[in-house]
Amino acid sequence: MAKEILSQSARNNLHSNYYKPGSVPIGIVTKVILTENDAPDLPENVIDSINDDSNIELSDYFTSNDGNQLKDTRKIGHIDIKPIDENYFPDNYPITNIPPFFADEGTPLNTETVELMSVGGRFYYKRLYPYNLNIGNASENKGKTQLPSGGIKNNNNDYSNVSQTGTTKSSASDSSVKIGKYFKASQSNKLIQYEGDKIIESRFGQSIRFSGYNNGTENDRVLSPTIIIRNRQNQETISGDSKLGIYDLVEEDINKDGSIIVLSSNNYKLPFLPGTVDDGGSSDFKTKPINADISDTDGLDKILINTGRIVLSSKTDKMLFFSKGDYGFISDGKFTIDNGEGGADLDFGDDVNITTDRNNANFTVLTGTGNILLNTDDQGNSPSLTGPKDAQGNPTLRKEPLVRGNTLVELLGELIDAINQQVYNTPAGPSAVGPTNRSTFDDIKSKLTDTLSTLNYTE
């Protein structure tokens, strides 16, 4: 187990002298520690204490942003705040390096209002309920939060006003402060909730819903555990014809939202349409499945992944796909396999049908200088029992090459011409040129090209 490298006194950041027990202090964020550059320097007394006490290499634990000074990177995610109630914090000083109370608290913005919680004499911060999902209660108009004279009284009404709106009675001389260096306010709507749901939502339209009853209508919902993971709220609800208000509720749209994964069961129906779905509910996907059944099936556990592009990668070993039922590939584009040097083995237990009858499409097989083997292998083994046999009646090993059609027609034409020009030596002298049924041979020659296929070709 790694040794604890900081003493208790070095880890504590106490403010008990300024905090009145029983109160609910709140403050406005003045700094968020996001990178090692923002983090405070590692205190010299801590460095000296560690160096005197052990052989630990500090660089194994801490980052140096300039090659010399070590940064206390444990403080990433911590914040500084300025209290907004001078009755609770008489000296009105900023409180620094406050850690989150929950590990999944979420990073607050500059000027956002947070609640302070004292545990064991140390402060932690807790974000307040965000009515505006994207910016919480942050505001670029809060300025530097000059405290109101007389402070804010500790009663439910005042606390509610400040915690929900982040608004304080500041003077007109307050200077404006940005809510972040690069953060831009945008719209993210809260999700509709169903009885018993657990929902995790971010500022950016990402969400994870754990639900059991987000199916059917209100009168016929049945338990169907479902998880929906969504990366982006669809643009139509933010800036399109169906634009929602900031505080309107929205539900996941598996066809229009950004990348989305649905793990569903039982009666949850997947209203899935392939391709891009427009405002009217029509898809731009053109290919109609012929052999694949894409209809939804009740009662089954299902997974849907719907996004702009999917990449599956196996870095060091096999990639295996199992299907108890049929499996299909439906695409408006081209089906390609680039398999490198490993080759391919295809083993089918039944008929194999390949159809390219649309758009006068070709079926091409290229092997370079290799062979195309039909019903025989490279050693001449063949399942056919009708080929040549040895003296004992056993099939012999043979590979029969295919005939070139045009070449065969040319050779047969030359043969017929030679027959028509043949002359026999007889006791009476040379015979006449050609046979008496020469016209018959000419007729056969004229039909030789009928043997050539109009659809199938070889080299």
pLDDT digits (tens, 9 = 90+) for 171-217: 444 456 788 889 999 999 999 999 999 999 999 999 999 999 999 88
pTM for the model stands at 0.75
Give, in degrees to the nearest 5, the angle at Cα 80 between 78 and 84.
135
pLDDT at 341: 82
Q: What share of the chain is helix, strand, coil (3-state, %, to 5)?
A: 15, 15, 70
pLDDT at 212: 95
Predicted confidence band at 60 (pLDDT cuts at 50, 70, 90)?
low
Predicted confidence band at 271 (pLDDT cuts at 50, 70, 90)?
confident
Query: Among the listed ranges 9-13, 78-82, 333-337, which one has the minimum average pLDDT value?
Result: 9-13
Average pLDDT, the chain: 80
Residues 6+ apart with CB under 8 A from 204: 134, 186, 188, 232
Query: Among the listed ranges 42-51, 210-219, 251-260, 359-368, which one has the minimum average pLDDT value?
Result: 42-51
Give, in degrees to the nearest 5, the angle at Cα 185 between 193 and 127.
55
Contact between 41 and 130 under an 8 Å Cβ cutoff? The reply is no
**Greater model confidence, 325 or 86:** 325
pLDDT at 163: 40
What is d(CA 265, CA 273) in angstroms, rounded to the nearest whole number?
19
Task: For the chain, give every residue range classified as CATH 2.40.50.
Answer: 8-34+77-165
Q: Which two tokens stand for residue 244?
A: 């929602």
* Strand, helix or coil for residue 424: coil
pLDDT at 382: 76
* Strand, helix or coil for residue 29: strand
What is d(CA 141, CA 149) in angstroms, rounded to the nearest whole number?
19
Q: Which residue has the tokens 């639900």?
A: 211
Query: Among the listed ranges 64-73, 331-340, 367-376, 440-449, which one has the minimum average pLDDT value?
Result: 64-73
Which strand (E) or helix (H) includes residue 440?
Answer: helix 438-446
Contact between 127 and 113 under an 8 Å Cβ cutoff? The reply is no
Which strand (E) or helix (H) includes residue 199?
Answer: strand 198-201
Q: How many Å is the Cα radius of gyration of the chain?
A: 40
Share of the chain above pLDDT 70, in %: 80
Would you mind telling me the total number of residues written for the chain in this entry?
A: 459
* Strand, helix or coil for residue 303: strand
pLDDT at 166: 43
What is d(CA 106, CA 319) in angstroms, rounded to the nearest whole number?
36
What is the mean predicted confidence (pLDDT) over 73-87?
Answer: 81
Single-letter code of the amino acid located at 398: R
CATH class in words for 8-34+77-165: mainly beta
Give per-residue burial for 51-67: e unless 16+ CB within 10 Å, then b.
eeeeeeeeeebbeeeee
pLDDT at 205: 94
DSSP letter, residue 73: G
Please report how many Cα atoms fall inside a 13 Å half-sphere around the Cα of residue 189, on the Cβ side: 22
Residue 168 has pLDDT above 50, yes or no: no
